[in-house]
Amino acid sequence: MIKKFELDLSSKKTVFGIEMFRIRALISFRDVKKGDLGGYVEKEENLSHYGNAWIYDDAQVYGDAMVYDKAWVYGNAKVFSDAQVYGNAEVSGNAKISGNAEVYGNAEVSGNAEVYGNAVVYGDAMVYDKAWVYGNAKVFSDAQVYGNAEVSGNAKISGNAEVYGNAEVSGNAEVYGNAEVSKLNDYIVFKNNWSSGRYFTYTRSNKMWRVGCFYGTEEELVEKAYLDSENSGKHYESYVNLVKTLEKLEK
């Protein structure tokens, strides 16, 4: 193995009792030139010697965290605990990635955003500003989470969906497609308590329903449900009518 960096033992800092060292490039690759100083790591295992991954500026990677493949971590970003950043992912600004969180693919986490716990951000997804993604939440595809938004629990944000403002998406919600969520009543999560026990989500901005692998309008949902069984049809039709009633009350 050809090492691409070494620890500069003369350039170190101690944060929360953890001693970290700047990295120095031993070879040239991508936009890094031999001899360039990078960001800080606690140990060599925090950054792979394989691939073009690099830590820039004053970014810090420590604990058992790992940065590898072609990932970039820069600015004042911090990646720690058991977090992993890989693929073509970028973490920048004052972003924090921690816990067992993973950021990969072409995903970007920037600003003062935080991704932690068992959360996963991947694909071409973006998490930025002061947004938080945590718990077992997943943000993927081309989805964006920004502003002061929080995504937590088992929530999934995908497609071209956007969650922003002061929105909180949690539990078993699935915000999908071109949905936009910026406030409390922009989505509703229901539970199928008559057969499967699974959760399903209605998003108000595009008036669409996400039920398992199904994604469509209220008419398409009811039609499909009746094809499955009359019992299923009646239940989903009741929930569709409930949503219509709730939206009338909010006008």
Domain around 202: 186-249
Domain total for the chain?
Answer: 1
Give me the pLDDT at residue 250, please. 80
Give me the pLDDT at residue 144, please. 98
**Range in 5-19, 104-118, 140-154, 213-227 with the lowest mean pLDDT:** 5-19
The mean pLDDT value for 224-239 works out to 97
The DSSP code sequence of 108-129 is: EE-TT-EE-TT-EE-TT-EE-T
**For residues 196 and 213, is the Cβ–Cβ distance under 8 A?**
no
Backbone angles phi, psi at 133, to 5 degrees: -130, 120
At residue 242, the 3 state secondary structure works out as helix
pTM of the model: 0.95
218 found inside a domain: yes
208 found inside a domain: yes
The mean pLDDT value for 193-219 works out to 97
Single-letter residue type at 220 = E
- 6-48 pLDDT, tens digit per residue, is 999 999 899 889 999 999 999 999 999 999 999 999 999 999 9
Give me the pLDDT at residue 102, please. 98
- 77-120 pLDDT, tens digit per residue, is 999 999 999 999 999 999 999 999 999 999 999 999 999 999 99
Percent share of the chain, pLDDT over 70 = 100
**For residues 97 and 65, is the Cβ–Cβ distance under 8 A?**
yes
Joined tokens for residue 140: 């993927």
241 found inside a domain: yes
194 found inside a domain: yes
214 found inside a domain: yes
199 found inside a domain: yes
Joined tokens for residue 43: 């140990």
47 found inside a domain: no
231 found inside a domain: yes
Torsion region of 154: left, alpha or beta (phi above 0 gives left; psi -120 to 50 gives alpha): alpha
